[in-house]
Structure 1
Amino acid sequence: MKQRYTISKEGLDNDLIIREYAVIGKAPNQTYGSTPLQDEYALLYQENYKGKEIEPWTSKGINELITALRTDNLFPIGVLANKIAESVMGLYRSSEDGSTELLFDDIEMFDCN
């Protein structure tokens, strides 16, 4: 499954928003190894975090931050959770609002060569 995560830190309170998208079914423009177009992703879930609750976790280490980010509805696998946590740490190192996007394809986890 091809997934896309958008991670943004916004507002005066530095709130964090993580949106999880996925390509559901075979997209019309999708072939093996291709990157789906933006509109071929469907929003699966959005998790909102209060900045004052999540920001302290960014300095406690990546494993602690992953624990804080995971919820019943947003529970990415280890490899992806690490990438999300690293992105969150990067966003909170900056004093400005910002966002980042992560693309992930399950097929990349299997080395077929």
Structure 2
Amino acid sequence: MKQKYFILKNTEKNELIIREFAELDKESFSLLCEETFQKDQITSAIAKGKEALVATIRTKNMYPIGPFAAKIAEEVTNLYESKDKDSIELAFDDIDILTKERVAHKPLDDIESEPVEIDELLVEDVAPAFDDSEIDNISYPIQIADDDAVNTDDEE
């Protein structure tokens, strides 16, 4: 899914506005959420670091994934450091994240080169570790007396 974030620094009202858009139809973006933050809240988070800023811009209505949130935080920091910039638009595509994070699987070295015959798999020799002797000696924490057992067929 493609997403856009429009970040606006409103110096007149001392606030930051982040609008989240998503491509719900081909090349047509719809507004999903708009969050407004006070300047003091954002500048305090910037001073504490990137993680604090990411935590600040994530809300219950707008919660971008890690890579998107990190980029948004970086651009918000750039907006507040720049005197001539008041807004920025960021575009993301989930497919880019999915293809970057895909890890190639390494072949297993310990696979036998010759296949095992089916008959070898059906051998009925039980390993000593799986004897029934250990299972027979299990004690149960709840015991039912024989005369307390309910027989539903007899009651009808």
Aligned match for 1:56, one of 44, 49, 72:
44
- What pairs up with 1:2-17 in 2 under 5 angstroms? 2-17=2-17
Shift of 1:54: 1.5
1:32 corresponds to? none
Shift of 1:58: 1.1
SS of the residue 1:75 aligns to: coil
1:67 to 2:55 alignment: yes
Deviations 1:53-73 (A, max 9, x none): 221111211001101111100
Contact 1:6 1:101 (8 Å CA) reproduced: yes
* CA distance, structure 1, for counterparts of residue 32 and residue 12 of structure 2: 27
Unpaired stretches in structure 2, ≥5 consecutive residues: 105-156
* CA distance, structure 1, for counterparts of residue 36 and residue 15 of structure 2: 7
* CA distance, structure 2, for counterparts of residue 92 and residue 16 of structure 1: 10
Q: Aligned partner of 2:8: which letter?
A: S
TM-score (norm: length of structure 1): 0.81
* CA distance, structure 2, for counterparts of residue 96 and residue 24 of structure 1: 33
1:82 to 2:78 alignment: no
Contact 1:20 1:45 (8 Å CA) reproduced: yes
* CA distance, structure 1, for counterparts of residue 22 and residue 50 of structure 2: 25
Shift of 1:96: 4.6
Contact 1:14 1:97 (8 Å CA) reproduced: no
Deviations 1:26-75 (A, max 9, x none): x1xxxxxxxx3xxx100000000111222111121100110111110011
Name the stretch that deviates more: 72-81 or 87-96: 87-96
Q: Aligned Cα RMSD in Å?
A: 1.8
SS of the residue 2:64 aligns to: coil
Percent identical across equivalent pairs? 42
| Structure 1 residue ranges (4+ consecutive) displaced by more than 4 angstroms after TM superposition | none
Structure with bigger gyration radius: 2
Shift of 1:13: 4.2
* CA distance, structure 1, for counterparts of residue 59 and residue 12 of structure 2: 24
Greater fraction strand: 1
SS of the residue 1:7 aligns to: strand
Q: How many residues align?
A: 101
Unpaired stretches in structure 1, ≥5 consecutive residues: 28-35
* CA distance, structure 1, for counterparts of residue 15 and residue 42 of structure 2: 8
1:101 corresponds to? 89
Higher RCO structure (Cα 8 Å, ≥6 apart): 1
